Amino acid sequence: MLIFNTRTQNKEEFIPSEPSKVKIYVCGPTVYDLCHIGHARSYVCFDVLKRYLIELGYRVVHIQNFTDIDDKIFERARREGVSSSEISERYINEYFKDMDALNIMRASKYTRVTEYLQKIVEIVEKLLNSGYAYRYGNEIYFDVEASGGFGELIKNVEEFIVDSIKVEGKRKPFDFVLWKFDENGFNSKIGRGFPGWHAECVVMSMENLGNEIDIHWGGKDLIYPHHECESLIAKALVGKRFVKYWMHNGLVLLEGRKMSKSSSKIYIREILKYYPAPVLRMWILSKHYRRDLSFSEEDLNTAWKKYEKIKRAAKKAGDEENSKTKEYIQEFLSAMNDDMNTEKAIEVVEEFSEKNLHGLRLYKIFERVLGIEL
Partner RNA sequence: GCCAGGGUGGCCGAGCGGUUAGGCGGCGGGCUGCAGACCCGCUACACUGGGGUUCAAAUCCCUACCCUGGCUCCA
What is the binding site for RNA (CB under 7 A)? 9, 27-30, 36, 38-39, 41-42, 67, 70, 72, 154-157, 159-161, 164-166, 173-174, 176, 197, 218-222, 224-226, 249-253, 256-261, 290-292
Smallest gap from Cβ 179 to RNA, in A, equals: 15
Q: Assess contact for 56 and 95: CB atoms under 8 A.
A: no
Give whichever of 229 and 237 is closer to RNA, judged by the CB atom: 229
Give whichever of 166 and 189 is closer to RNA, judged by the CB atom: 166
d(CA 217, CA 287): 18
Q: How many CB atoms lie within 10 A of CB 106?
A: 11
Smallest gap from Cβ 157 to RNA, in A, equals: 6
Q: Alpha helix (H) ranges present in the chain?
A: 37-55, 71-80, 84-101, 117-129, 157-161, 199-209, 228-238, 268-272, 277-285, 297-316, 323-337, 342-354, 360-370
Sign (positive/negative) of CA torsion 172, 25, 38, 152? Answer: positive
- Residue 186: its H or E element: strand 176-186
Smallest gap from Cβ 15 to RNA, in A, equals: 21
Smallest gap from Cβ 358 to RNA, in A, equals: 24
Sign (positive/negative) of CA torsion 223, 205, 7, 333? Answer: negative
Contacts of 142 (CB under 8 A, 6+ apart): 127, 132, 133, 175, 176, 177, 178, 196, 198, 199, 229, 232, 233, 236
The one-letter amino acid code at 245 reads Y
Give whichever of 196 and 278 is closer to RNA, judged by the CB atom: 196
d(CA 339, CA 45): 12
Give whichever of 96 and 224 is closer to RNA, judged by the CB atom: 224
* Integer-rounded Cα radius of gyration of the chain: 22
Q: How many residues does the chain have?
A: 374
Smallest gap from Cβ 260 to RNA, in A, equals: 3
Q: Assess contact for 364 and 332: CB atoms under 8 A.
A: no
248 three-state secondary structure = strand
Smallest gap from Cβ 289 to RNA, in A, equals: 10
Smallest gap from Cβ 60 to RNA, in A, equals: 19
Smallest gap from Cβ 160 to RNA, in A, equals: 4
Give whichever of 279 and 348 is closer to RNA, judged by the CB atom: 348
Give whichever of 228 and 359 is closer to RNA, judged by the CB atom: 228
Give whichever of 106 and 155 is closer to RNA, judged by the CB atom: 155
Task: Return the ∠ at Cα 259 (arms to 257 and 261), rounded to 5°.
Answer: 70
Give whichever of 129 and 164 is closer to RNA, judged by the CB atom: 164
125 half-sphere exposure, CB direction, 13 A CA radius: 10
